Structure 1
């Protein structure tokens, strides 16, 4: 499955597989309930203070289709194993969508 940029989607590779992130209203509300205000999250990211746990939580809530059996812990481990450089493009897309309000 590939990400559709017209829908504000981003792709991230975890454990060798491509997963699609879609920042839907429901996903962002769930992320905000866990992480606090999204604009504060964006500010932390801009200041380089976004934690790995916060990034994984945002990604987790925005996963379009979670593979059966994928736990949040395994997902987080996969994101960490892939490295921050690999996760940054997806994070940029999600932050752009949060700011744009799509």
Structure 2
């Protein structure tokens, strides 16, 4: 799918169809996520309370995907998150949310 995640850029990765998918929290990606999900700080607060919905997690990942293959759909990404379990997606989610709060 894409090159390995670059921690210096605040990137994370998850596995989709056995391949790593890099999630890059760029300005454009976060603006797009905020347009769909509302204020990012509220998203962080919901996550901290354990109130983050699966659809919100997948939406954040979708907007932050980087160098994804053209055939990747949001549904496929969602199915990969479900297949890997919420616990499997948590490290990537934590890294992205940390970037929202702290920046690079």
| TM-score normalised according to structure 2 size | 0.95
Which 5+ residue runs of structure 2 have no aligned equivalent? none
The one of 69, 72, 75 aligned to 2:71: 69
Deviation sequence 1:54-99 (CA, Å, 0-9, x none)? 0000000000112121111111111111111110000000000000
The one of 82, 85, 89 aligned to 1:83: 85
Deviates more, 1:78-87 or 1:47-56: 78-87
Count of residue pairs brought into register by the alignment: 102
Secondary structure at the counterpart of residue 21 of structure 2: strand
Aligned counterpart, 1:24: 26
Which 5+ residue runs of structure 1 have no aligned equivalent? none
User: Deviation at 1:44?
Assistant: 0.1
- Which residues in structure 2 correspond to 1:1-102 (within 5 Å)? 1-102=3-104
User: Deviation at 1:101?
Assistant: 2.3
C-alpha RMSD over aligned residues: 0.7
In structure 1, how many angstroms separate the alpha carbons of the residues matched to 2:65 and 2:28? Answer: 11
After the TM superposition, list the runs of 4 or more consecutive aligned residues in structure 1 that deviate by more than 6 angstroms: none
